[in-house]
Structure formats: structure tokens, C-alpha cells
Structure 1
Amino acid sequence: MSDAQARLDAASTFLLQSPPGEVNDVLSDLRAILSSSGLSDSQIESGLLPALTKHNAEQFTVVESEGKKVLVTPASRIEGASEEEEGTERHVEPREGKEFVFDHLKGLASSASPHTSPFDAETSTLRISLDQLLSSYVSNHYASGVAAVYTLPDPAYPPPEPAPAAAPSTEETATEPEGTGETGTIAQDVEGGKEEVADVAADTAEEAEKALPEEGVETVGGEGAEPTGVSAEEAEAGEKAGEFEFEAVEEDKMDVGTPAAATTAAEEEEAPSATTENAAPVPPQPRPSRLFGLYFVGNKYNPSNYWTGRWRSTYQLDYAKGTLEGTAQINIHYYEQGNVQLSTTLKSSATLSPSPSPESVVASIKATESSFQRQLGETYNDLSDASFRGLRRALPNTRSKLDWDKATGMRLGQQIGGGAQ
């Protein structure tokens, strides 16, 4: 590993550990440090971009899109969407039915556009009900809280597989047996493909035209019709004398005209089928889902007093089974004349009735997180009354600091100094 890559890896680790609301300050300091080591701005950005992208997704970054606060989460990212430029991703905001482009380096959302949900109407109705109740709960209990509910792909309802390509029709795949059909007589005598057969047929037709008399004899009707203007006796005599041998040639001319049509059919076979390749793509059909991701975050920044904090929670609801799996994470940073951080995580699991009501889902989240808050409060009380006492010098019974400059005026000081009687 090169020294430059080692520096970028170390910087990425610091970036992932950025305290709440301070990622831009950390990024600015890392740029200055890495620039002094000889790395260019493009190298720094490309090297830190993966860590910055991961940080924004894990921390549920709040951005503004068209005047509304939206979340950047792992569930909001549109998989397979083409990136506008390096460092950008396309995310969905399901509440407004829109999607936007998020620039991880600049921390800005742009290019909002309508989004078409791949899920059916019943699934959308469930998601909207959960979103409304969760948003109301978060706005009432969390500072600067923002919530979003996403529909997750459900393995029980996989997306439909693309339709297989239509098989070619029997007329296109059928081939004439060798030596049969209208072209059988010529195909038996001529080696090569249909193009060569067509060339020979054209030459034969040209020779037949030269063999006709100047005042041509017309034929009417179909096969076996007698020449007009010639009596039966003349015809019989002419056949004996070989004067009307052109009839056989004329019959060959009719037969050899068919290979040219066969050539056209071959060209049609080579052309793409209008029903398969040129057909308009069928849009994907909406499908149901019973898996939902509930995300919300509360941020409170107070840099003037040197502290910041963030509460972020994510829950996965299996609506069909009635299970709710959740994770709540808290990060707090105090940095007045020091650097103290609190980082704690709560994992929870609740079993509801199958197909629970949205109200019961949000009530379960509220009960879980309220219990977590009470536990944190009790921990803080124990920390100040018990844990911190082991980290500092105990005060005397007067509960006031001892003034050591006046210790000589006290009896204890006199005894220590040897002046006691």
C-alpha cells in the first residue's frame, strides 16, 4: 500500500467518526492535512468520497429539496439509477412522490423530478398511513425531527420476470425440402444458395425470350391453353417440327421466376421481427409489498456552548407477520475544553398481531423509545452521584474546597508543622 493510500484510509476513518453536525469541519481539516502531504484536490475528493457517502447514509443526513426537509438513507437510494456526475446519487422522497439528486461532496439536493412507485395502490395506502402517524409522533417528541417511511422489496412478491422473446413463426422457420416445390427443378441442377439459383433463373428467362419468334404468340388461360391464332392442325404439325418448343421454355420461365420471390423471403428472415425486437417495451406492473422501513432522526446542534447531539432510529415492519425490528442510536459530543462523546445503541423487537393497524405500530415505537429515554436518565443520575466520585478528589465535610494557603492557621496545619503544644 502506498503512503498516499494509507493517508487516505486513515482520513476516511476519521471522517466516519465525525460527531453530529461536524462532518464539514472534519472534512475541511482533513483537506488541509492531506494537501500539505502533497495530494491534489481531485485525489483527496476521490479518496474520501466512499467514506463520505457511507457517513451521509448511516447518519440519515437531512437536506432540503424544493423547500422541504428530506432524508438521505440506505432505503431512499434508487438502485440502478444513472449518476449525474461523480459523487452524486439519486434518492426518492416518497411523501411527495419525487426523486432528487444528492451531491455528497457539497451536501446539496437538486434536480427534483416526479417518481413513479413500483408498488400497487394497497401498498401505497399502507405506507401513507404509517408515514402520517410517524411524522406526527417525531415532530412532537424530537428536536428538528424528520421522518420517512419507505416501501421495501418483499421476497414474497418478487418482481415479474421479463417476458421471453417470441419464437419465430412456423412460416419463417419452415424450409422447403431439397428438390421439391416450384424451385425444386432448378435447385437440383444448380449448386449454391438461393442467390445463385435466382441468377440462373434470370439467365434462363433471358434465353427463353430470345428463342421466341418476332411476332410472338400469346397464350391465354392457364396451363395447357392453346396458342391463339394457330389451328390445332398447325399446332400438331409445329410440335412435330419443333416449331413450338418455346412452350417448354415458357413453362420453365414461369417456374424459374419463383426463386426470386424466395430471395425476398430470405431477406425478410434476416430482417428483425416487428413483433419481437421492434415492439415497444412493456412497463413493469405494480406489485404488492408488506415490508416497510421506518426512518427518523432528531438533530440538536449548539456549537456556541460546545455540544451537539443526534438521535436516529430505524425500524423494519413485516406487516404480514406483525413483527417490528428496530435500532435506536444516540451520539452526543461535548467539547468545551475537552472532547467527550456518548455513543449508545438500543436494539428492540416487538411482536404485533398480523396485519396490525398503523396506530399500533407507532404506539409500539413510542413505548420502546420512551423506555430507552428513562433508562438513559437513570444512567445519568448514577453517573453524577456514583461514577464521577471515583474520578475526583472527595471534598471535606464542609463540602467546600480547602484553601491550602491558609492551612497554617489551622490546628491541623500547626500539628503538621510541628508547632502544636
Structure 2
Amino acid sequence: MTSTIELASSFIEGAPPGELADVVADIQTLTEGDDVISSLTPAFERYNESQLTTVKLPGSSQEVIVSEFNKLEGNRYFDTESQTSFEFDHVTQTASGAQSSPLESQNADLIKSLQKALAIHAQEHYPSSSHGVYPIENDTAIAILLVANRYSPNNFWNGRFRAIYQVPVSSPALTGKIHIDVHYYEDGNVALNTSKPVDLSVSSLSAEAIVSRIAAAERDYQEELNRAFVALSEGAFKGLRRQLPITRQKVEWEKVGGYRLGQDISGGKAR
């Protein structure tokens, strides 16, 4: 039988973008005040790392990424651009204990060049985004991360774009995955959760060539999604419901309500 912790963990890990606090509140309500949140730290950690949660470092306005690629021992993570390590509380999503952490990598020059090129790409295409470049696999490869969040709770929608790429330093190749999550919840729930694997060759092991391939891959995927949405709107969705009634005129629902009220007042006889 599934335990309360397992069920609550699944809620945490499935939280839509920007709605983790609401999910936590729901868990507390459903468990009737039982102290389960403290037992859910592993689920929070998996969620934060997989979703590329961002956090502001103490005394800084810059947001850095929390992921499996920049994790140190314990609950500490590092940021190569600011050359800082920090402790991260996965439940409260806050950073503390910032310390100097110099970039020690034989690929430091390439990492710094990638950071600059990626920053230009992010600023051009993704408002409110964060990015990170980290040495991985015992310094034999580089991880390139990009995350952009757009939250609009007043309009009942939130969205997140994530891209995770890996580049081996021994050969010019690019692998990874692009993720898009959107949740629309006005008078119902509609969710888009899609991903696209990336496996490309790169002309050279330079920051410009790598980021150029990244930009092309993301553009191609967005164009692919646009075509799919148009086909869905003109195909399956159009077949589910008529855009206009047989009269080819929109129904004026306000008047329909008035007609019904008139019938009630007159004893059920329409005039």
C-alpha cells in the first residue's frame, strides 16, 4: 500500500512551475496538520534539481541555478560565474553560507567563454532567465543549463523552459534535452509537458559554435511546436466543437439568459 510520504512526494515532484508553495499547502491540508514536510526533503531535492530551481545568493540580485551538475557534498552547490559556493535549503528554497569557490578546471577558458556567449543568447531570447556552465564527469565534459520562468497567476497560467546540454571536451558534439512545462488553470486544468532530445555535431569546440547550435536547436523545436499547435487547432480541436453554430452566428449568451428570465416571469410561456 502506498504510504503518505510516497503520495506526498509524488505531489511535490509533479508540482507545476511556480506552484510548489500551493502544493505544499495542499499537502498540509490533506494530512490534517501531520508533520510530513520534514520527511519530504528528498522529494524537494529531486524537484529542485530536476526543475533547475533558481535562487538569489545572499547580498546579490543575481539568481543562480540549483542542479545535479553543480552539486557539492551535503546541500551545497556552486556557481562558476560568480565563483561562489552556497548552502541551499530545499524546503524553503533559500541560499545561505556563501563562500568563495574558484573555478578549478582545465577547461576554465572554454567555460568562461561559454558563459559569455550563453548570456547573450539568453538575454536575446529568454526574459527572466538564468544560465550556468559547469565542468562535469571529472572535468571531461561540460554541462550547459538554461532555465526561463514566466509566472502569471493573475491570468491563471505559469510556464517554464528548461534546456540541459552536455559537451564532451574530447569531441565537438552536443547532447541533451529541451523541456517545456505550461500550466493553465482557469475554470479547469490544461497542462503542456513536452521535451525534445538533442543530439548534434558541432563544427568546432568553441563557445560560438556550441551556442550557435544550441540556438538553432531551440529555434527548430519552437517552430515545430508552433506547427503542431496550428495543426491541433485546425484538426482535432476543430472536430470536437463547432467554432460557430449552424446559423454561422455567435450565440449571445447574455440575451439567452434574458430570454429564460422572461419565460420564468411570464409563467414559462415565451413571447
Q: With the length of structure 2 as denominator, give the TM-score of the two structures.
A: 0.87
Contact 1:77 1:91 in 2 (8 A): yes
**Is 2:201 the partner of 1:351?**
yes
Which residue is equivalent to 1:368?
217
Change (3 A) 1:298 1:382: same
Which residue is equivalent to 2:260?
none
Contact 1:76 1:150 in 2 (8 A): yes
**Is 2:105 the partner of 1:105?**
no
From 62, 71, 76, the counterpart of 2:54: 62
Structure 2: which 5+ runs fail to align?
257-271
1:164-313 paired onto structure 2 within 5 Å? 289-313=139-163
Aligned length: 252
Matched position secondary structure for 1:320: coil
Matched position secondary structure for 2:76: strand
Which residue is equivalent to 2:4?
7
Letter matched to residue 377 of structure 1: N
From 103, 116, 128, the counterpart of 1:144: 128
Distance 1:148 1:361 in 2: 14
Letter matched to residue 92 of structure 2: K
- Whose radius of gyration is greater, 1 or 2? 1
Letter matched to residue 316 of structure 1: Q
Which residue is equivalent to 2:116?
132
Matched position secondary structure for 1:75: helix
Higher mean C-alpha displacement, 379-388 vs 123-132: 379-388
Distance 1:356 1:9 in 2: 44
Distance 2:103 2:79 in 1: 11
User: What is the aligned-residue identity percentage?
Assistant: 31
Letter matched to residue 375 of structure 1: E
TM-fit CA distance, 1:402:
8.7
Distance 2:191 2:174 in 1: 30
Distance 1:374 1:111 in 2: 43
From 54, 68, 76, the counterpart of 2:70: 76
Structure 1: which 5+ runs fail to align?
84-88, 155-288, 406-421
Runs of 4+ residues over 6 Å off in structure 1: 402-405
**Is 2:39 the partner of 1:53?**
no
TM-fit CA distance, 1:377:
1.1
TM-fit CA distance, 1:53:
0.8
Matched position secondary structure for 1:15: helix
Deviations 1:139-197 (A, max 9, x none): 2101211111001134xxxxxxxxxxxxxxxxxxxxxxxxxxxxxxxxxxxxxxxxxxx
Which residue is equivalent to 1:27?
24
Letter matched to residue 106 of structure 1: T
Deviations 1:350-407 (A, max 9, x none): 1124x522101000000110011111111121222222122224621524339997xx
Between 1 and 2, higher relative CO (CA 8 Å, sep ≥ 6) is seen in: 1
TM-fit CA distance, 1:69:
0.8
Deviations 1:229-268 (A, max 9, x none): xxxxxxxxxxxxxxxxxxxxxxxxxxxxxxxxxxxxxxxx
Distance 1:318 1:298 in 2: 25
Contact 2:161 2:181 in 1 (8 A): yes
Structure whose residues are more often strand by fraction? 2
Which residue is equivalent to 2:266?
none
**Pairwise CA RMSD:** 1.9
Contact 1:129 1:358 in 2 (8 A): yes
From 164, 180, 188, the counterpart of 1:314: 164
Distance 1:324 1:398 in 2: 52
Distance 1:12 1:402 in 2: 46
Q: With the length of structure 1 as denominator, give the TM-score of the two structures.
A: 0.57
Distance 1:360 1:51 in 2: 37
